[in-house]
Amino acid sequence: MNYPKITKIIETRKEAKDTKTILFKDSVEIIPGQFFMIWIPGVDEIPMSVSYIDKDIKGITFRKIGDATKALYNLKKDDKIGIRGPYGNGFKINGKNILFVGGGTGIAMIAPAVEKASYEKITSTVVLGVKNKDELFFEKKLQKTGAKIFVATDDGSKGDKGFATDLAEKMLNEHKFDSVLTCGPEIMMKKLHSLCNNIPFQASLERYMKCGFGICGQCCIGKGLRVCKDGPVFDGETLKNIEEFGKYKRDASGKKIPL
């Protein structure tokens, strides 16, 4: 039911500058790309991708950017949070050779998808894009899957200097992929979409969310697609018909704001 389950944090991990993982007990089945609504009592309830999928333990990984994520960042072991979900459709992971592109906190939701692909013996190439080396996380976790990992930083402090899309473009020119999966800043995903021409493409979108289960209308895009329920992952064909993709989102009031 769409009601938060109150649970205790069993562990917190610092992953990078201002970035933490919170782990809690939960035995629910997750498709990589799905998300939870996380209730921080007295503060807010916000959507967070599932970044850590184990049989009985789940986790989220986030960067502190505002009130809710700051409050979440300051929580400790045994503090209580509420969890609703999982919500959304998640990635379809198929093909023999997949290119994953994660930008910023988008890396959090890309990670379990790479893990699943590796479990299914799919050859995976992963491009991680961050501003600088202090913001990079999950590199080791992803290396363990056997995937080939490439890093791009805006300032060149690690890996290639430049955008994740520059690096991804190079990969797309040099290798043949059956599928491209991405999560990150929408401008990045939009660029990647345009590079993918005929390669099956899936991108995970973010929109302001309230209910998370498709009833309030807050997160709608295109012709009535609810990011929380019909998404957050959309394929390349669908994205072609979503006029606002890469252009604008809406604030809590429903007003359009340019990306």
Partner 1 sequence: MDEDAGSMERITRCGAGGVVTKSIGLEPREGYPNPTVVELECGILNAMGLPNPGINNFEDEIKNLKKSNVPVIGSIFGSDKDGFVELGKKMQSYGADALELNMSCPHAKGYGLEIGSDPDLVREITKNVKKSTKIPVFVKISPNLANIVEIAKAAESAHANAIVAINTVKAMKIDLELRIPILSNKIGGYSGKAVKPIGVCCVCEIAKNVNIPIIGVGGITTGEDAIEYFMAGASAVQIGSGIHYRGVEIFEKICIEIESWMKDHNYNKISELIGVAHI
Ligand X SMILES: Cc1cc2nc3c(=O)[nH]c(=O)nc-3n(C[C@H](O)[C@H](O)[C@H](O)COP(=O)(O)O)c2cc1C
Interface residues toward ligand X, by CB under 6 A? 215-216
Tokens matching residue 227: 């990011």
If phi > 0 it is left, if psi is from -120 to 50 it is alpha, else beta; for residue 14 that is: beta
Binding to ligand FES in span 187-216, by CB under 6 A: 209-212, 214-216
* Residue nearest ligand X by beta-carbon distance: 216
3-state helix, strand, coil in the chain (%, to 5): 20, 35, 45
Window contacting ligand FAD (CB under 6 A); options: 39-47, 113-121, 161-169, 173-181:
39-47
- In the bound state with ligand FES, the residue whose beta carbon lies nearer, of 37 and 128, is 37
The residue among 3 and 27 lying less far from ligand X, judged by its C-beta, is 3
Residues 9-68 that bind partner 1 (CB under 8 A): 37, 39, 41-46
Using the rule CB under 6 A, is 158 a contact of ligand FAD? no
How far apart CA 104 and CA 47 sit, in angstroms, is 16
Distance (Å, whole) CA 246 – CA 237: 15
The residue from 9, 23, 30, 48 that contacts ligand FAD (CB under 6 A) is: 48
Q: Which of 40, 53, 69, 189 binds ligand FAD (CB under 6 A)?
A: 69
Cα 29 from chain centroid? 17
CA distances from 192 to 66, 180, 187, 225 (A): 28, 9, 9, 21
Q: Rounded to whole angstroms, how far apart are CA atoms 111 and 131?
A: 18
215 touches partner 1 by CB under 8 A = yes
Taking the complex as a whole, the smallest distance from the CB of residue 121 to ligand FAD amounts, in Å, to: 26
Q: Residue for token digits 């394929």?
A: 235
Report the distance separating Cα 211 and Cα 185, nearest Å: 23
DSSP string of 195-221?
A: H-TTS-EEEE-----SSSSSSS-TTEE
Q: Does 40 engage in binding with ligand FAD (CB under 6 A)?
A: no
State the residues that interact with ligand FAD by CB under 6 A. 35, 44, 46-49, 51, 60-63, 65-69, 105, 108-109, 206-209, 232
State the residues that interact with ligand FES by CB under 6 A. 209-212, 214-219, 226, 228
State the residues that interact with partner 1 by CB under 8 A. 1-4, 6, 37, 39, 41-46, 80, 82, 84, 210-211, 213-218, 220-226, 250-256
